[in-house]
């Protein structure tokens, strides 16, 4: 079984949508094996999205991710990384398929409700940024 890292973003916690999103995750056959609600610091958000630091939306992204609590999660399942990206839908909700998290809930390309790792290496790094091994059960 594979693991991926997920964040339910501030637009989701603000609108009280974490349970509705978790229902979609679980219905897709992914198991939530770790989960906590945190308010990200600026440093955590800058580290997490470091790959985007030269993009024009970086400042806005860090502001958004620190604007309200988030729920960080580890999801486990067969092909969890690809499966969760499918369940989330396209980055821009205008392009997301029906039934996906972003189609159902996202407000915009920035406030798009969920994050999911894009590869095995980034999944491992992202999980390690937020969870100790013994917190994943
Ligand atoms: P994520 O990494 O959050 O799972 P993703 O892999 O679909 O999303 P990336 O290209 O990695 O998309 O962008 C990371 C995040 O940066 C997006 O989820 C979105 O919140 C934000 N973002 C991306 N493009 C834009 C943009 N043009 N304007 C504002 N925010 C953006
Ligand atoms: Mg990404």
Q: State pLDDT tens for residues 28-44.
A: 999 999 999 999 999 99
Distance of CA 38 to the CA centre of its chain: 13
The string of pLDDT tens digits covering residues 67-92 is 999 999 999 999 999 999 999 999 99
For ligand 1, whether the C-beta of 41 sits within 6 Å is no
For ligand 1, whether the C-beta of 116 sits within 6 Å is yes
Rounded distance from Cα 106 to ligand 2 centre (Å): 15
- What is the residue-averaged pLDDT of the chain? 98
The string of pLDDT tens digits covering residues 11-27 is 999 999 999 999 999 99
ipTM of the complex: 0.94
- What is the C-alpha to C-alpha distance for residues 30 and 24, in angstroms, rounded to an integer? 9
Q: First CA to last CA across the chain, in angstroms? A: 13
Tokens 């964040």 belong to residue: 7
Tokens of 9: 């973003």
Q: Which of 109, 111, 118, 127 to mutate to test the pocket of ligand 1 (most atoms within 8 A of CB)?
A: 109
Q: Which of 61, 87, 125 to mutate to test the pocket of ligand 1 (most atoms within 8 A of CB)?
A: 61
Q: Cβ-count burial of 19 within 10 angstroms (0-12 exposed, 13-18 middle, 19+ buried)? A: exposed
Q: Cβ-count burial of 8 within 10 angstroms (0-12 exposed, 13-18 middle, 19+ buried)? A: buried
pLDDT at 9: 98
Ligand nearest to the CA of 84: 1
Q: What percent of the chain is predicted at pLDDT more than 70?
A: 100
Beta strands in the chain (DSSP E): 2-8, 31-38, 70-77, 114-116
For ligand 1, whether the C-beta of 111 sits within 6 Å is no
For ligand 1, whether the C-beta of 110 sits within 6 Å is yes
Q: Enter the DSSP assignment of 96.
A: P
Q: What percent of the chain is predicted at pLDDT more than 90?
A: 100
């Amino acid at each position: 079984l594979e693991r991926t890292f997920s964040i339910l973003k501030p637009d989701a916690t603000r609108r009280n949508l974490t349970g509705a999103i978790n229902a979609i995750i679980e219905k897709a056959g992914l198991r939530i094996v770790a989960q906590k609600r945190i308010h990200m610091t600026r440093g955590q958000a800058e580290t997490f999205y470091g790959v985007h630091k030269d993009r024009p939306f970086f400042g806005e992204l860090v502001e958004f991710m620190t604007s309200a609590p988030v729920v960080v999660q580890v999801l486990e399942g067969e092909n969890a990384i690809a499966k969760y990206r499918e369940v989330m839908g396209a980055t821009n909700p205008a392009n997301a398929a029906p039934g996906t998290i972003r189609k159902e809930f996202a407000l915009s390309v920035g406030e798009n409700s969920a994050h999911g790792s894009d590869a095995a290496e980034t999944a491992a790094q992202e999980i390690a940024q937020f969870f100790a091994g013994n917190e994943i059960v």
